[in-house]
Structure formats: C-alpha cells, structure tokens
A and B are shown apart, each in its own frame.
Chain A
Amino acid sequence: MATAETIERKTTGKVRAHQTQNEGLVFEKSSPGKKAYKMPPLDVPAVDASSLLGKSHRDKRAELPELSEIEIIRHFTRLSTWNYAIDLGMYPLGSCTMKYNPRVNEFVARIEGLADAHPYRPESLAQGILDVMDLLQHCLLDITGMEAITLQPAAGAHGEFTGILLVRAWHESQGNARKKVLIPDSAHGTNPATAAICGYAVENLKSNADGGIDLEALERQVDEETAALMLTNPSTIGVFESQIHKIAEILHAKGALLYMDGANMNALVGKVRPGDFGVDVMHLNLHKTFSTPHGGGGPGSGPVACKGFLEPFLPIPVLVKKEDGTKGWNYDRPKSVGRVRAFYGNVGMFIRAMAYILANGPDGLRQTTEDAVLNANYIRRKLEDLYELPYKTASMHEVVFSDKKQAAKGIKTGDIAKRLIDYGFHPYTVSFPLIVHGALMIEPTESESLEELDLFVEAMRSIAKEVEETPELVKSAPHSTRVSRLDEVQAARKPILRWRPSEN
C-alpha cells in the first residue's frame, strides 16, 4: 500500500487524492418512524382505503426506506462525489459529445408555465410551449438542410427507429417495402438493432482502406431489395465521407434511401448540411450536439428530420399552424407511420436545446463546430508520434488511435483508459469502432480550454512512457479510485440486481 501511495503522489497531472465519504445503501440507513415529508391536513373527508378498494387494497407495504431530509441530502450528495462529470473535467468519450451543459438551460426548463404544463391541456393554453417547439423545429431544419421534422423520438436509437419506419413506409407506398438495410462495419450497435426491429435484414458493408465507405462494394451490394444505407457522417473514426455525393447517387439510382446517424453532427453544424449532400432522413441527438445533459445515461431526445417526400409519413401528431394563426396538433394523417411515443416527446429537452441555440446564434454555432474540430486535430497532432494512427485521413471532431504500439508491451486500450482515470480524466471510448483493433476513440468537444487539452496530452504521453518503463502500473490501474477492478464476471454469473430485506 505504501508503494502505491508513493507512486500516486508522484503522478504527473492535475489530480491529488482526497477523501470521499463511505455510504451504505439507502435501505441500510432506514429506521422505522423517520420521516422526510409532511402532508398538509386533508381538506376533504378521509376514506377507509381498505373498504373502498376491497380485494384490490394493498396489505403488504413496499419496503421503502425511512429517513429524514438531512440524511437524504447527505446520501445522494455522497453518492454524487463518487462520479466523474463534465463539470469536473474533460470527458473525451468518442461518439458521445460530452460538452458543457449550460446552467441557463436547466433554469429555463423549470420555468412556471413550461415545467407544469399538462400534455392534454387545451391547445389554447399551450401556445407558449408550442411556439418554442415550432422555433426549435425551424432551427433544426435549417441546421440539417431538411424539409420536415418530428421531435417525438425520446433518444437517438428511438430516432433511428422512427427514421427507418419512414423509409419503410415510403418504400411500401412505392409498392415494395424491400428487405435489407446496409450498415457499415464501423457503425454504432444501435443501427443494426434498429434495422432488425423495423423488420429488415442487416447486411454488413465493409469499410475501405481509409475507414470510409467502399464505393465499389456499395455498388455491388445495393440492389432493388435495399431499403437504405445507415451512414454515420463524419464516420465513427471521425472522418468526413468526401465521396458522400457519390454514395447518395449510388443508393438513389437503385431507389434506396440514405439514412444518416446524426451522432456526429457536432462536426458539421453551421459548416455543412446533410440535406445538401444527399441525405434523405436523419436523426439528431439533442443530448450530444445541442448540450442537453446526459444525466448518467439519459434522458435524451432524438428528433428526426427528413426530405419533403417523407413528410406524409411522420409520426402523429404533427405540429401545425392553424388558420386563426394559433398552433396546434394534427392527428389526421392517414399515411403516418403511427405514434412512437405517448404525448409529444421529451419536451424538457427541447427547451434546453432551444436555449443552447439562442445562446450561440449562427456565429456561436459555427465557432463551436470549428473549435470542436480544432481540438480533435490538436490532440491528434500532439499524440500521433506515440500512439498508432490507423487511418491517416483528416480528422473532424474526433480522432481514433489504436493500441498497436502499446500492445507490443502487453498493454491494451482498456488498460490505458483505466490509467487515465488516475490522471483525473474520464477514459476515451474503448475498443470502438470495431474496425480499429484496440481503438482509442477521443472526442474532446469544443468545451475544452487549451490548458485542459494540454493536461490531457501530458497524461497520455506520460502513460505511453509508463507503458515502456512500468507497464505493471498501467495494467493494474486505476490506483486512485474508491473501488478498482470490479468483478464483472461474478456480477453476470450470479446477478444481484436489488437489495433484499434480511430474513430476520
């Protein structure tokens, strides 16, 4: 132990160990009779629940914890200190766009009249929120270069589902739903999973030597049974498909459509528009490009934008301007793919995304994209001598290295990632995309200062040196966390997915 501590104090970087509080499960802190609530007095006659509900009455109470308010505050505050977060430092997860989440977004999402609006309130009492949604739709359409949009999908994968349903509905209207969707081997796992739930067979498309779409292979594989290609652009190796117009042409020549996964839109906003380079339908991730918080895994929001010919198929309801100038919902759309979610989508995220767009304006959005690309290229330049760059193609907003040099010493991308934690950073995305063996996928976003970037570079360079000199130190990382090397095998083999009250 003494050795490990000595090593840690010498660690180059921006961190030094400090205490975190231990904290049990909330259930273990419970004791009967403690309360953190007080109901106001009942102003109507009390009822006898068990006689009112009869057999439907609940006799056995749920074992929920009983705590006072201060204990609850401490419990969750202590838990929070065990998390890394954007607010603490750079979060270079490739493909995830972990950018700053502005606090004014949180403030405006909680404004009275917006936060407490019931989805079934009369449209006449919902004009303010409908105005916000209308403005957001307008902005997103200009940003994407598309002609129609739905905000209903709750996340990126849900947007993919909606987008592929539009594709399918359009093909059906042409007389043949078609059978397969082409997906590059570099794609996110959600793409094939989505195609499958939309009833399509998934056909893999091998990337070319540059990590992009192989036009010849595409030409060979696209046929009259191809519904669409699901393409991420820039690709998951952070490279813009410079042949994008030819890709679209090849697809369209066979009547297939081009779907774009908008996960990497942070590289394009204000610089180039998917609608202009041949994309027929795409989704956006408001929780990536438009700064709504990831919140430890959600909520997200995945609007889908499309060309005009797909508009009749959008999910119901669609936001419309009515003759009297007010806004409302149109449910009467016989060609619609149906509904993909109850109500109208993750509206709270629309408010936050709109606040982000207002804070930026056209100049800010363009500068944001430029800074995101600048940051990724800076990291590439500063690390390419020590880490293998499998694809030399120009990087956009993220850069993908491989662990080839370090693997020769028995150190893998996952080890380097864990060691990065000791330097005070969240790891990059590990082992993705699958086309790069031992990938280190780094997306700094625009939110990092030169100082933070330099600290990251310094950490990565220092780890590369450790790989040469003290590989064991890297292999056994992290050394500075509350827990280390959790037993995932045991977790999966004998799953414990909940706390249970003790038998006695």
Chain B
Amino acid sequence: MRYLPKSPAEREQMLAEIGAKSIDDLFSVIPAEYRLNRDLDVPRQQGESEIIDYFKAAGQKNATNFASFLGAGAYRHYRPVIIDSLVQRGEFLTSYTPYQAEITQGTLQAIFEFQTMIAELTGMDVANASMYDGSTGAAEAVMMAVRVTGRHKAVVARTVHPEYREVMATYAKHQGLPSTLVGYDRETGRVDLKALEAEVTEETAAVLVQSPNFFGTIEDIPAIAEIAHKKGALLIVSIAEAVSLGVVRAPVEADIVSMEAQSFGVALSYGGPFCGVIAAKEAYLRQMPGRLVGQTVDHDGNRGFVLTLSTREQHIRREKATSNICTNQALVALMATIFLTVYGKEGIRELAEHNLAKADYAAKTLAEQAGTKLLFNSAPRFHEFVLETAESPALWGPRLLDEKIVGGVELSRWYPELGNATLWCATEVNTREQIDAAAKVLAAGLVEA
C-alpha cells in the first residue's frame, strides 16, 4: 500500500522487538467472536490514475458547462488562483488546531487576520475563528443570546434561509427554547415590522433576521434593532451572502452577526465545506462559541498569537461549555482571508458593485418578458431577485436546461403562497449573453402557448 512507509522486513523486526509473534498478537484483546475474518466490502485497491478517472467520470456525469442563476445560500463567485496555491501548502493543509502556539504561529496569525477582516466587514467589535457554516452559526448565535439575556424565547423572520431555520429548530428543540416566526411584507419582501413588534416581548432573548434576506432584499436593520432593543432582546443578523458587505451597509445595530463566508473564495462543492463565523459586540465575548485567537507577547517581548479565552470551550468546561464545537473550518477561513486580501478595500467594493449591476440587468431583462414580473420590487436588493412567471417553472425549467442554463430556485417548496415564483441570482460570473439567453427561453413559452 503506497501510503504505508514500511517494508515487510521492518514489520517483522518491530514485532520481534515488541515481543509479539505476529500482528494478530496485538489484536488478541479483541474477543474472537467480534473479529472480522473477511475482507471489507469496499472497492479493490486502485492506482492513482484509476482514482482520478473515477472522479473525473463522476464530475462529467454531473454535467458541466451549464450557465447557472442559482444562489439561495450558496454563491458562484470567481476564485483567484492563489487561494488554492496557498492553502495547499502542506504547512497549512496538514497542520492541526494551533494548541501548540510556538509551532503554529502561521495558522494563528492568519486566523487573527481573519477575525479582524470579519469584524471590519460586519461592523462588529470581535469575530471568532469560524463555525461550521451559516446555518449552524445562526443556531449557535441564538443559543448565545439566550446565555447573554437569560431569556428563553426567539423570534425568527420567515425571510431567514429556510434551511437555516430548520437547523435552528433542531438545535432549539431540546433546550426549552421556543421560537415564533414572523412573516414578510408582500410588497417589499422584508420582515413585517408590525408583526415583529407584536411578537417581541420582555421574554424574547433574540430576534433573528437575515440580510440580504432569502428573497435577496435588504432588511431595514436600524428599524428592526429598535424593535428588538426596546424590549431588551438582542438582534442577530444572519448574512448568507458575504460579498454584499462590499456595498451594503454593515449591520452595526446588531448585537451578534452570524455570517456564511463561502462567497469569499470557497468552492460550491455541492454545499460544503463552507465557512460560518460569528461576530459580536465586545460585551458578549465571554458567551461566544468557538475558538478565538488573541495577540500577546512572548518572554522576549515579541508579538505572538495564542488560542485564548478557552475556558468557554468544551475541552475545559465540558458540559458547561458555551458550545460542543471543537473542529471548525480553519482552512476554509484561510481561503476567505486570502480572498479578502486579494480584493482588498477597493476590490470588495468593485466586486459587489459588479454583482449589483449584473443582478439589476438580469432582473430588468427577465421581467421585461411577457408573463413575468418581479416581486418585492419596492425594497433595495443585492444580487438576488424573485421572479413570478405566468408559466409554471416545471415548464420553463426543462426548456432552460435544454439550452444549458439552470434557472432560479422554485420558492413554493418553502413558501407555498408564492406559487410560480422563483429566486434568481446573478453574480459577476454571469454574462450578459447568459442573461439574454435565459430571457429568450422564458419569453418563448408564451409565444408557443
């Protein structure tokens, strides 16, 4: 086996030194009736070229070269080449969690830079070293608010990503943490502020909203914050599309921000690994879940970095920890850090403006076709929009696929009241040609009908 660095003679030599007759001696503690006396039912050992062929075939079976207008929590952005050059350096790739600070300063400093960039972008004081993803991050943020406030109820906007809400429900279920849903305004697609005001009480620990929300509309964060804070509840803002922060105002009125950073240079990879992260006001630091890197000095006065405030964590606190999280998404956070360094202060703005322009053109072009109309058009949005079509997506969807285009996501799956509405996303990687081609297919349906 090519990964195993031992010759048969070396194995024999080692057994002899241990004083074992055969390798079986070392497994004799396992009761005989449980030992596996057959080969595992897995494919036979393969050469490297065979492995590559297998996965290439799988990739091709997936169908490539489709133009796509999919978003909904997983975003298509260009990934600068140097991201993979750098994260594949063995010193990053094959290093462990930086508990031994003296020989992991590289990882530690990079995480410190990540925490800084996330705090800068979100307008929060501090950010952690990463969470699994945006969905689990949002759930953990709600649990964090429960610890901060000592209250046990959550109010959640229906415009939060439906799968994030499902995850939150799973986490909340066994913690005596009931949550209520607040609907959206049918004109703006934003959370219904009156309904929100009615739901938030002195028992509410947190109000959870997403912005840009699941329909792509940007929520009125200052107004929502006022409603939450009036009753002493914390405001948690979930951000699924991190690139939006290049041009959309940071949710500075929030108490906690839970962000999915996949848009910062992380491959879609059918939904993971992505990169969640929690940022917050400094006052809530000690209730944060996850790892934190802090700056300090060594005994010669050199600047250095360490994992800190670990008395919040499971390996010290066990059942009293702020979370059970251990492994996080460190290498993916490094991808995001490199991405943000490549684009930088000016580039993140320019990139976000390109997204804004593409989506604006796409929304207008698709909505110009007969039988189509934009929903929630009276509120500002980033790069996603909701299109209502007279014709069912079940009819135009396959026609788009024939043209090698994947259209928007059907919303009726989560919002039955929205009928034929679909959620479209246009980013900097979508061309005008693709948008025009999609519009043509949508228009064709009505001509034929």
B256 at the interface (CB under 8 A from A): no
**Cα of A194 to Cα of B88 in the assembled complex, Å:** 32
Q: How close is B311's CB to chain A, nearest CB, in angstroms?
A: 8
Among B23, B56, B349, the most chain A Cβ lie within 10 Å of the Cβ of: B23
Contact A80 B106 (CB under 8 A): yes
5 extra A-B contacts, CB within 8 A, seeds A35-B344, A298-B273: A53-B249, A142-B42, A158-B325, A338-B167, A478-B103
Binds B, one of A215-223, A405-413, A465-473, A489-497: A489-497
Contact B406 A79 (CB under 8 A): no
**Cα of A394 to Cα of B117 in the assembled complex, Å:** 49
Contact A495 B292 (CB under 8 A): yes
B66 at the interface (CB under 8 A from A): yes
B51 at the interface (CB under 8 A from A): yes
A13 at the interface (CB under 8 A from B): no
Contact A154 B272 (CB under 8 A): yes
CB within 8 Å of B: which A79-133 residues:
79-88, 91, 93, 96, 98, 100-102, 104, 106-122, 124-129, 131-132
Q: Which residues of A contact B267 (CB under 8 A)?
A: 110, 115-116, 348
Chain A 272-297 per-residue mask, 1 if CB under 8 angstroms from chain B, else 0: 11001100000001010001011111
Contact B58 A293 (CB under 8 A): no
**Cα of A54 to Cα of B292 in the assembled complex, Å:** 35
B144 at the interface (CB under 8 A from A): no
**Cα of A158 to Cα of B17 in the assembled complex, Å:** 41
**Cα of A385 to Cα of B268 in the assembled complex, Å:** 52
Which 7 A-B pairs give the minimum distances between C-beta atoms?
A: A343-B271, A113-B59, A295-B331, A361-B45, A87-B90, A199-B174, A119-B271
Residue of A nearest to B59 (CB): A113
17 CB < 8 A contacts A-B: A53-B356, A62-B121, A63-B345, A64-B341, A83-B92, A86-B95, A118-B406, A143-B42, A157-B326, A196-B324, A244-B31, A294-B327, A299-B331, A363-B45, A484-B300, A497-B119, A498-B115
Q: How close is A145's CB to chain B, nearest CB, in angstroms?
A: 8
Contact A366 B102 (CB under 8 A): no
Q: Which residues of A contact B247 (CB under 8 A)?
A: 49, 53, 57-58
**Cα of A394 to Cα of B19 in the assembled complex, Å:** 13
Contact A52 B380 (CB under 8 A): yes
Contact A189 B318 (CB under 8 A): yes
**Cα of A426 to Cα of B88 in the assembled complex, Å:** 20
Candidates B76, B327, B433; contact of A118 at CB < 8 Å: B76
Q: Which residues of A contact B218 (CB under 8 A)?
A: 53, 56
Contact A300 B62 (CB under 8 A): no
CB within 8 Å of A: which B1-58 residues:
1-6, 10-11, 13-15, 17-20, 23, 26-31, 34-36, 39-46, 48, 50-52, 54-58
Contact A64 B48 (CB under 8 A): no
Contact A242 B268 (CB under 8 A): no
**Cα of A54 to Cα of B56 in the assembled complex, Å:** 47
Candidates B4, B285, B298; contact of A486 at CB < 8 Å: B298
A165 at the interface (CB under 8 A from B): yes
Contact A79 B106 (CB under 8 A): yes
CB within 8 Å of A: which B68-97 residues:
68, 70, 72-74, 76, 80, 82, 84-97
Contact B272 A367 (CB under 8 A): no
B193 at the interface (CB under 8 A from A): no
Known contacts A79-B105, A129-B270, A272-B30, A361 near B356 by CB under 8 Å: no
**Cα of A321 to Cα of B270 in the assembled complex, Å:** 18
Contact B10 A450 (CB under 8 A): yes
B315 at the interface (CB under 8 A from A): yes
CB within 8 Å of B: which A159-216 residues:
160-161, 165, 168, 188-190, 192-199, 202
Binds A, one of B149-157, B227-235, B332-340: B332-340
Contact B59 A189 (CB under 8 A): no
Contact B344 A197 (CB under 8 A): no
Q: How close is A36's CB to chain B, nearest CB, in angstroms?
A: 5
Contact A64 B271 (CB under 8 A): no
Q: How close is A417's CB to chain B, nearest CB, in angstroms?
A: 8
B419 at the interface (CB under 8 A from A): no
Known contacts A25-B109, A52-B360, A381 near B19 by CB under 8 Å: yes
Contact A30 B344 (CB under 8 A): yes
Residue of B nearest to A143 (CB): B40
Contact B93 A351 (CB under 8 A): no
A61 at the interface (CB under 8 A from B): yes
A440 at the interface (CB under 8 A from B): no
- Report the interface size class on chain B: 35 or more
How many A-B residue pairs lie within 8 Å, measured between CB atoms?
688
Q: Which residues of A contact B48 (CB under 8 A)?
A: 104, 359
Contact A488 B308 (CB under 8 A): yes
Q: Which residues of A contact B340 (CB under 8 A)?
A: 64
Q: Which residues of A contact B311 (CB under 8 A)?
A: 492
**Cα of A396 to Cα of B117 in the assembled complex, Å:** 44
A307 at the interface (CB under 8 A from B): no
Contact B4 A446 (CB under 8 A): yes
B304 at the interface (CB under 8 A from A): yes
Q: Which residues of B contact A308 (CB under 8 A)?
A: none
Candidates B13, B54, B110, B351; contact of A39 at CB < 8 Å: B351
Known contacts A44-B361, A447-B5, A491 near B306 by CB under 8 Å: yes
Contact A154 B91 (CB under 8 A): no
Residue of B nearest to A337 (CB): B170
Q: How close is A459's CB to chain B, nearest CB, in angstroms?
A: 15
Contact A272 B34 (CB under 8 A): yes
B237 at the interface (CB under 8 A from A): no
Known contacts A296-B98, A342-B135, A361-B46, A121 near B4 by CB under 8 Å: no
**Cα of A297 to Cα of B252 in the assembled complex, Å:** 29
Among A78, A360, A380, A446, the most chain B Cβ lie within 10 Å of the Cβ of: A360
Q: Which residues of A contact B187 (CB under 8 A)?
A: none
A55 at the interface (CB under 8 A from B): yes
Residue of A nearest to B57 (CB): A128
A309 at the interface (CB under 8 A from B): no
B317 at the interface (CB under 8 A from A): yes
Q: Which residues of A contact B90 (CB under 8 A)?
A: 85-88
**Cα of A389 to Cα of B108 in the assembled complex, Å:** 34
**Cα of A91 to Cα of B94 in the assembled complex, Å:** 10
Binds A, one of B158-166, B200-208, B369-377, B439-447: B158-166
Contact A58 B249 (CB under 8 A): yes
Candidates A83, A168, A196, A421; contact of B106 at CB < 8 Å: A83
Q: Which residues of A contact B2 (CB under 8 A)?
A: 359
Among A44, A192, A285, A377, the most chain B Cβ lie within 10 Å of the Cβ of: A44
Q: How close is B47's CB to chain A, nearest CB, in angstroms?
A: 9
Candidates A118, A393, A486; contact of B268 at CB < 8 Å: A118
Among A188, A358, A394, A421, the most chain B Cβ lie within 10 Å of the Cβ of: A358
Chain A 438-473 per-residue mask, 1 if CB under 8 angstroms from chain B, else 0: 000000001111101000000000000000000000
A474 at the interface (CB under 8 A from B): no
B215 at the interface (CB under 8 A from A): no
Contact A364 B1 (CB under 8 A): yes
Contact A360 B127 (CB under 8 A): no
